Amino acid sequence: MATKAGLGARAAGGRGIRIIKKYPNRRLYDTATSGYITLADVRQMVIENTAFQVRDAKTNDELTRQILLQIILEEEAAGMPMFSNEMLAQMIRFYAGAMQGVVGGLFEQNVRAFTDFQRKMVEQGATLGNGVDASKFGPELWQQFMQMQAPAMQGVMGNYLEQSTKMFMDMQQKMQESTKQFFPGFGFPGFGEKK
């Protein structure tokens, strides 16, 4: 299954997906520009919604996901992180739980809804305070607006994701309790254990 940066992004001008080769020395080579690039360059490609894949130069295995996770790690380590320690810990717990697939889908839907909201504001010509027309915003102005709103937006997104996490944890607990009631004599490992 091919991974595309930007969730369904199309390459500019109808060209194919840009291929970035990752070498064993951790260097990234952009085959479109025939030059080495940095993670910051890849991050910019994501921001610009450029479709790309990162492939291992030796094995041709796809590494896009690992590079995107590395960019997120750097973003979280610098400046103002989007996720609290508790949220990150909860995400790790989801990997070991039955709700892993559901939660991943929920996060993806939430991010997609937020992106759609931004797009609709531009399409509908919404005003962003002081009579500024959102439809006139290019990517650079949107980035400046979001940076000005970063503390509030990160707080809103963080709170929303934490509330979603709590809702799914509650739902998972209720499902476990219902299952125990349905099969009262069967021992379920991990059910009812307090962490």
Select from 60, 77, 94 the last residue of a domain: 77
* Pair (29, 48) in one structural domain: yes
In a domain, 128, yes or no: yes
* Pair (94, 146) in one structural domain: yes
Any idea which residue has 């992004």 for tokens? 9
Domain total in the chain: 2
In a domain, 6, yes or no: no
> What mean pLDDT value characterizes the chain?
74
Give the residue numbers spanning the domain of 149.
85-182
Contacts of residue 51, defined as CB under 8 A and 6 or more positions apart, other chains included, come to 4, 5, 6, 9, 10, 11, 17, 18
Tens digits of residue pLDDT in 44-75: 999 998 999 999 999 999 999 999 999 999 98
In a domain, 187, yes or no: no
Q: What count of other Cβ atoms lies within 10 Å of the Cβ of residue 91?
A: 16
Select from 30, 55, 77 the last residue of a domain: 77
How far is Cα 148 from Cα 5, in angstroms, rounded to an integer?
A: 25
* Pair (91, 172) in one structural domain: yes
Select from 23, 44, 77 the last residue of a domain: 77
In a domain, 91, yes or no: yes
Tens digits of residue pLDDT in 9-47: 444 444 589 999 999 988 999 999 999 999 999 999 999
Tens digits of residue pLDDT in 75-84: 888 877 888 8
In a domain, 20, yes or no: yes
